[in-house]
Amino acid sequence: MNRLISIILGLLLTGICSAVELTMPAIFNDHMVVQQGQEVPVWGTSDAGATVEVSFAGQTNSVKVNANGRWQVVLSPLKASAVSKTMTISALLNGDSAAVEITDVLVGEVWFAGGQSNMYRPFRMLIGKAKEPKYEPLVEYLRKEEANANDTLLRQFRVGKDCSVLKEKYLGKGTWSKAVKGPVHEFCGTAYFFARELRRELNVPVAIIACNLGGTKVEPWIPMHSYQINETLKSFYKNEIDSYQQALANWDEEKVNKEFEQEMANWKLKAQEAKQKGENEPRKPPKPEHPDRNKQTASTLYNGMIHTVVPFAIKGAIWYQGESNGNNLPEQYAMRLSAMVNGWRKAWDQEKLYFYYCQLANYKDPNADPLEEVDGWVTVQDQMRRAMEIPNSGMAVLNDIGEAKDIHPKNKMDAGKRLSLWALNKAYGKKIVCSGPIYKTSKIKDNKVIITFNHAGSGLMVGKKHLMEPTVAVNEPLKRFQICGLDRKWKWAQAKIIGKNKVEVSHPEILYPAEVRYAWSSNPEGVNLYNKEGLPSSLFTTVK
């Protein structure tokens, strides 16, 4: 029974002319999952002074609606349950009443899934043909997974796209669905495979709040108050709002539409000429958006989308984003990600909210020579490594499962699983290795550099991974280590494992090494440093 029908029935039961309003955020709807083991906030709007009562799983709590027409009831922590229950919410004022029934409610684990297109990417977009034939087995696996999906205890709430530059929205848009054939078509691939692992290991209902949007930078997902923590962010935010207000003042709908019509007319002519010559048509001009709809403006997606699900009880968050920051202040990514995480934790009032994220996957043509120039993709990857200093965070390394010709690699299976290892280990206390080797320290000894790693697991190994198959140990030299001396001329290095968590790096022509880098490329083809649990090492530099 959907919520509209519930409201109508409530009105019929309490008198057709009920004058009491009762509205709830979109996330409170049929098929929802609420978080176990935490207090559960339930909120909405009604008439000021009305009494709102919430009943669920044997609990009944009530509260008076405040002068602004808002209310919030907090339920005591609940135990996980796969039994469908009904949550009833009613409002009473001066003898008039209204009621809402939310059916098929479960109790389990709830995770927030944010980011841009690689988190957004649903099955319907993943099951298309791969850009390179060698990745077709991944597509076939995804097609079978979608066709055979039948887990009613794995659910997703898809937050509707919305923007709001200056005001935090309250009710929001979105729908709940189950991971069964048909509805699973719209499930975010990375989040689905993350949740699938939790379902297997925890055997409780699991839900994902999918709040993501393709082509977005990190900045629009950061709360407004988080931009006030330092002068760099303050200045950035002020410039963003100044630019927005200037664009708003200069917006002329009629003029914009006329200019766009002319651009489209020119494009059609060029497209026709290209077709006659057997050439690819030029890119279609994008339709200009009103400044209010600019999805890149600071805080606009937090305000328009995330705030509508705060403070819905969650265990933690997963994040896959960063591609759009490769050309947008990549050297500040760690600072901005940290500001975002801290802002979310403040919004949810969870100081230790778990936060696990994907490092960017390998992409574009591999480099034949050691990389010397600054590369935005690599800078973001390294900033992500440095962001592991954020408390209660973890990073899934993906530099062995990307695709040179596709910024949206098909292997969301390993991406989701590697995120789940962090959650299972840190959030749920499972004794498993959750990460591949992460650079810890380095020491120069004669003409060699000794690298020590965290997260070595049961030991380092030279490994090889093929598609979704487990990583296997191989008898090959370590690759993609580069070294330079005081002259800063980079060379491919000789590297070998010399202990459980140590690698020795050198080059016969470099007597006084200055820096070592590993996997320092947007596509470090052939990277092969793993731990024995089969998880890859992140890129790193020995210079802080």
Give the phi and the psi of residue 241 in degrees, each rounded to 5. Answer: -70, -35
CA atoms within 13 A on the CB side of 383: 24
Pair (92, 147) in one structural domain: no
Q: Dump the DSSP string for 79-135.
A: --EEEEEEEEEEEEETTEEEEEEEEEEEEEEEEEEEESHHHH-BHHHHSSPPSSGGG
- Assess whether the previous peptide bond of 311 is cis (omega < 30° from 0): yes
| In a domain? residue 158 | yes
Query: Residue 329 — φ and ψ, nearest 5°?
Result: 50, 50
Ranges of residues in the chain with a pLDDT under 70 are 1-18
Domain check: are 150 and 131 in the same one? yes
Same domain, 372 and 512: no
For residue 246, being part of any structural domain is answered with: no
Are both 337 and 308 inside the same structural domain? Answer: yes
Quick one: CA dihedral 36, 419, 352, 113, positive or negative?
A: negative
* 238 located within any domain: no
Same domain, yes or no, for 168 and 310? yes
CA dihedral 268, 272, 274, 277 (to 10 degrees): -170
Q: Is residue 130 part of a domain?
A: yes
Assess contact for 540 and 385: CB atoms under 8 A.
yes
Tokens at 528, concatenated: 């092969």
Do 310 and 398 share a structural domain? yes
Range 99-120 burial, b when 16+ CB lie within 10 A, else e? bbbbbbbbbbbbbbbbbbbbbb
In terms of domains, do 188 and 325 share one?
yes
User: Domain boundary residue among 59, 82, 107?
Assistant: 107
Say if residue 221 is exposed, middle or buried (CB neighbours under 10 Å; 0-12, 13-18, 19+): buried
What torsion do the CA atoms of 76, 80, 82, 84 make, to the nearest 10 degrees?
A: 0
Residue 172 lies in a domain: yes
> Same structural domain for residues 306 and 174?
yes
Domain final residue, candidates 60, 78, 107: 107
Q: Label residue 218 exposed, middle or buried (CB < 10 Å: 0-12, 13-18, 19+).
A: buried
113 occurs within a structural domain: no
Range of the domain at 459: 438-541
Asked if residue 201 belongs to a domain, the reply is yes
Single out the residue of 311, 303, 222 nearest to residue 25, CA to CA.
Answer: 311
From 427, 462, 492, the end of a domain falls on 427
Tell whether 225 and 279 lie within a shared domain: no
Write the pLDDT tens digit of every residue in 163-221. 999 999 999 999 999 999 999 999 999 999 999 999 999 999 999 999 999 999 999 99
Tens-digit pLDDT profile for residues 36-73: 999 999 999 999 999 999 999 999 999 999 999 999 99
CATH number for the domain harbouring residue 91: 2.60.40.10
* Strand (E) or helix (H) holding 334: helix 333-348
The Cα–Cα gap between 3 and 418 comes to 37
Are both 30 and 92 inside the same structural domain?
A: yes
Same domain, 12 and 131: no
What is the DSSP pairing of strand 502-506 with strand 494-499?
antiparallel
- Number of domains into which the chain is organized: 4
**CB contact set of 518 (below 8 Å; sequence gap of 6+):** 439, 480, 481, 482, 527, 529, 537, 539, 540
Residues 311 and 386 in one domain: yes
What is the rounded distance in angstroms from the CA atom of residue 172 to the CA atom of residue 304? 7
Measured at the CA of 400, the angle between CA 395 and CA 402, to 5 degrees, comes to 90
Give the residue from 377, 262, 260 showing the smallest Cα distance to 326.
377
Instruction: List the CATH number of the domain containing 226.
Output: 3.40.50.1110
